[in-house]
């Protein structure tokens, strides 16, 4: 995650954490840690003091079974200027897996997905399955099936009414 902040104040970042989750802070560039990571309810807090206008940090999240498709994001608790900025997200999937329909929609190159948004999302959903396994129904397939069912139902009703 790379951020641009105006002003030199400390920035508190929060991330959602479930029981069994492991969040590892890998590297910080352009900022100093004010304290260690603190647990606050079901979230963690990381306070950074930027050395310059922009800074970046890398982290890794390992989720427990059943939540392994969900990747929480460290959200800075600072007000925005109200103008959209480009937010680029990159996700690396475990080896030998295939991505499913994600939210937001990612462009995939092998096991690495990328998306550019106009805002910072609260959570990223990236379902995946082991290579060769059948993928479960995603929201895109469910919406397609629902649209087809509505179309077929409307056609049946229209045909029935037209014949009366």
Of 88, 89, 108, the closest CA to residue 98 belongs to 108
- Is this model's pTM higher than 0.75 or not? no
| Average predicted confidence (pLDDT) for the chain | 82
**pLDDT tens string 64-101:** 887 767 778 888 887 766 666 677 788 888 888 888 87
């Amino acid at each position: 995650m790379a951020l641009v902040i105006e002003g030199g104040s400390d920035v508190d970042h929060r991330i959602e954490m479930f029981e069994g989750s492991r969040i590892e802070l890998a590297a910080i560039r352009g900022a100093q840690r004010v304290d260690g990571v603190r647990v606050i309810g079901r979230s963690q807090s990381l306070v950074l003091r930027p050395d310059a206008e922009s800074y970046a940090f890398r982290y890794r999240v390992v989720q427990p079974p059943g939540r392994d498709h969900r990747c929480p994001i460290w959200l800075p608790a600072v007000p925005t200027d109200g103008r959209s900025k480009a937010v680029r997200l990159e996700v690396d999937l475990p080896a030998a897996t295939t991505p499913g329909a994600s939210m937001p929609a990612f462009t995939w190159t092998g096991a690495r997905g990328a998306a550019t948004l106009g805002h910072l999302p609260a959570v990223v959903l990236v379902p995946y399955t082991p290579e060769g396994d059948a993928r479960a129904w995603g929201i895109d397939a469910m919406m397609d099936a629902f649209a087809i069912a509505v179309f077929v139902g409307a056609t049946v009703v229209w045909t029935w009414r037209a014949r009366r």
